[in-house]
Amino acid sequence: MAKKPRLDVRGRTTVITGAASGMGAEVARELDRRGARLALLDRNADGLASLALDLTGSGHTTHAVDLTDDDAVFALAAGIAASHPHVQALVTCAGSSMLGDIDQLTMEEMRWLMDVNLWGTVNITKALLPALRRETAAHVTHLVSIYGLAAPAGRIPYAMSKFAVRGFTEALRHELEGSTVTVGAVYPAGVKTGIILHGRYAAAIDPAVAQRAAEAQARMYHTAPADAAVRIVEATVRRRARTMVGREAGLVDVLSRVTPQHYWAPMRAKLRAAIDTTTPIAQGRGHS
């Protein structure tokens, strides 16, 4: 099989979702340093404006959009294609988390997370494909999660959404074989962003208990966002199909493949405090 040419990002456009904060902002900074033009998407207009002030390159644009609004996304994609003549890459970083077990979560809460994490990824990808196909080489990078490799208790909607994004990514990669567009998934683990601390939790959970669980999860994160951004950008430039980020990612990948029925047993102890959304604070201090 012929080796796929690397992307030269200088002067060409990468579209980044979830760009106002977290991994999206760090990926934007890394691509800005490499001379890329950027179309930055997020619901948070103020966050986008703040990020734009930090960037040193030219030709960047910011776009406040709700990625769950299909009509708005397709209209925006057409506008980006018109104002950025060479849309070479898409990196989807937008997403949220949701704490709670099946008895605590409502159907509405689970559907909301699927809308954000899955359908927001699908619609921006579909909307930008015509522009990406016009390039001689282009790449789509979807941020998945190690919870798209192994599904922990206490994270049902998040794991559902990330397994679905993984399936979408792999199926799309196969559909686009032989075209100029390649597709890859990045599986981050333990990146020190605020997603878990600023994510949502089931309304049925005591807020203090949810905060305790979120903080326990956050203490397990080790990878600096800037380091993760370098890995994500390199995966995009090299047009890789599969990339692990963070020291736990490779371990979880191997574990889920070696023992697909029993991988939860070794994971359970490490995640005990992070998935506990039921023990009252007065009884649960030993988990913190």
Asked whether residue 274 is assigned to any structural domain, the reply reads no
Asked whether residue 122 is assigned to any structural domain, the reply reads yes
Asked whether residue 95 is assigned to any structural domain, the reply reads yes
Domain extent for 170: 13-207+222-254
Residues marked active site are found at 158
Count up the domains in the chain and report the number: 1
Give burial (CB, 10 Å; 0-12/13-18/19+) of 278.
middle
| pLDDT more than 90, % of the chain | 85
Mean pLDDT of the chain: 93
Sequence-distant contacts of 248-257: CB under 8 A, at least 24 apart: 248/146, 248/189, 248/190, 248/220, 249/146, 249/149, 249/187, 249/188, 249/189, 249/190, 252/146, 252/149, 252/150, 252/189, 253/146, 253/149, 253/187, 255/150, 256/149, 256/150
Asked whether residue 217 is assigned to any structural domain, the reply reads no
Asked whether residue 64 is assigned to any structural domain, the reply reads yes
Asked whether residue 272 is assigned to any structural domain, the reply reads no
pLDDT at position 197: 75
pLDDT at position 199: 83
Asked whether residue 84 is assigned to any structural domain, the reply reads yes
Could you tell me if 124 and 92 are in contact, meaning their C-beta atoms sit under 8 angstroms apart? yes
Mean pLDDT of 88-103: 95
Question: What's the pLDDT tens digit per position in 122-165?
Answer: 999 999 999 999 999 999 999 999 999 999 999 999 999 999 99
Q: Residue 201 is encoded by which pair of tokens?
A: 């939790």
- CATH code for the domain in which residue 160 is found: 3.40.50.720
Identify the helix (H) or strand (E) that includes residue 39.
strand 37-42
The residues, ordered by sequence, that sit 6+ positions from 208 with a Cβ below 8 Å of its Cβ are 281
pLDDT interval class at 217 (50, 70, 90): confident
Question: What's the pLDDT tens digit per position in 253-283?
Answer: 999 999 999 999 999 988 999 999 999 987 5
Identify the helix (H) or strand (E) that includes residue 26.
helix 22-33
Question: What's the pLDDT tens digit per position in 176-188?
Answer: 999 999 999 999 9
For residue 220, pLDDT over 80 is answered with yes
pLDDT at position 283: 53
Mean pLDDT of 202-210: 94
pLDDT interval class at 2 (50, 70, 90): low
Asked whether residue 115 is assigned to any structural domain, the reply reads yes
- State the sign of the Cα–Cα–Cα–Cα dihedral 288, 147, 250, 16: negative
For residue 206, pLDDT over 90 is answered with yes
Could you tell me if 29 and 93 are in contact, meaning their C-beta atoms sit under 8 angstroms apart? no
For residue 91, pLDDT over 60 is answered with yes
pLDDT interval class at 83 (50, 70, 90): very high
Q: What is the DSSP string of 254-287?
A: HHHHH-TTTTHHHHHHHHTTTT--SS-HHHHGGG
Mean pLDDT of 96-106: 95
